[in-house]
């Protein structure tokens, strides 16, 4: 009789939630940090090794997984500059020259500690293979990412994701030598639209020059904006 009662008790217990897969974790990260379409007002402050800093004010537009455009409003020295991604092609538009120049994924974004791909190409499911590995905290999952091709921002990444709500907490970014070259801290989680919460602040630390770091803050973001495809063409830059 006791065995029957024990069995019934076990059956009455709620089923344990299944652990998320790597693909589910990466899909969640991409949906948080790189929604399919949005318009955002952002601010980036780059602190250099001599202690000086420079703050940029930008408007960002994204459409689909491969179209991204940034307009610089401040400081005055870069006002009117634009950065465009269309597919695998990246350009920076210089208003004084009235022409655009190609740039690379791994180039520094405006001389700070984010690469161009960190800002313009947030889609880890497409660019990396992921594996779950032991985390340094029982409160987080750790996903190790290996680049699928040499055009990605990094050769490998360790991404730490909070178990309670699947929000990113920190990232560690590695070069070809296996040395950690950047680390990121995600914080200031805000609900920008109903059902859409993300870290409003990301600080990228330069691990090779410790005095350098860059802070990217999302001031506002609107999802599901309808931006004409023409806005993401090279011929539209400067207009």
- CATH number of the domain enclosing 87: 2.50.20.10
The confidence score (pLDDT) of residue 153 equals 87
Decide if 9 is inside a domain.
no
Decide if 11 is inside a domain.
no
Distance CA 4, CA 26 (A): 43
Distance CA 135, CA 81 (A): 41
The confidence score (pLDDT) of residue 15 equals 46
Decide if 1 is inside a domain.
no
Decide if 174 is inside a domain.
yes
Decide if 66 is inside a domain.
yes
Of 76, 9, 40, 71, nearest to 231 by C-alpha is: 71
Decide if 26 is inside a domain.
yes
Distance CA 24, CA 126 (A): 13
Given a contact cutoff of 8 angstroms between Cβ atoms, the answer to whether 159 and 142 are in contact is: yes
Please count the structural domains in the chain. 1
Q: Which pair of tokens denotes residue 168?
A: 């990113």
Q: What's the mean pLDDT when you consider all of the chain?
A: 92
Count Cβ atoms below 10 Å from residue 160 Cβ, excluding itself. 19
Count Cβ atoms below 10 Å from residue 99 Cβ, excluding itself. 11
The confidence score (pLDDT) of residue 51 equals 93
Decide if 59 is inside a domain.
yes
Q: Look up the domain containing 105 and give its range.
A: 18-236
Contacts (Cβ under 8 Å, ≥6 apart) of 13: none
The DSSP code for 108 is B
Decide if 76 is inside a domain.
yes
Distance CA 198, CA 233 (A): 29
pLDDT, tens digit only, all 239 positions of the chain: 444 444 444 444 444 468 899 999 999 999 999 999 999 999 999 999 999 999 999 999 999 999 999 999 999 999 999 999 999 999 999 999 999 999 999 999 999 999 999 999 889 999 999 999 999 999 999 999 999 988 888 999 999 999 999 999 999 999 999 999 999 999 999 999 999 999 999 999 999 999 999 999 999 999 999 999 999 999 999 99
């Amino acid at each position: 009789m006791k065995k029957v009662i024990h069995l019934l008790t076990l059956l009455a217990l709620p089923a344990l939630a299944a652990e998320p897969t790597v693909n589910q974790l990466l899909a969640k990260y991409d949906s948080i940090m790189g929604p399919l379409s949005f318009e955002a007002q952002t601010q980036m402050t780059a602190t250099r090794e001599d202690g000086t800093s420079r703050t940029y004010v930008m408007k960002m537009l994204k459409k689909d997984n491969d179209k991204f455009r940034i307009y610089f409003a401040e400081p005055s020295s870069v006002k009117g500059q634009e950065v465009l991604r269309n597919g695998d092609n990246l350009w920076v538009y210089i208003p004084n020259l009235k022409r655009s120049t190609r740039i690379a994924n791994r180039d520094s974004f405006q001389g700070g500690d984010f690469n161009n791909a960190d800002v313009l190409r947030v889609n880890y499911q497409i660019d990396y293979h992921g594996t779950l590995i032991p985390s340094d905290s029982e409160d987080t999952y750790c996903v190790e990412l290996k680049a699928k091709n040499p055009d990605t921002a990094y050769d490998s990444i360790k991404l730490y994701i909070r178990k309670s709500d699947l929000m990113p907490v920190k990232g560690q970014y590695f070069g070809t030598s296996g040395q950690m070259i950047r680390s990121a801290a995600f914080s200031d989680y805000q609900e920008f639209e109903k059902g859409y919460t993300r870290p409003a602040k990301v600080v990228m630390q330069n691990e090779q020059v410790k005095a350098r770091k860059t802070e990217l803050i999302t001031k506002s973001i609107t999802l599901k904006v309808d931006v004409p495809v023409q806005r993401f063409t090279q011929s539209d830059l400067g207009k």
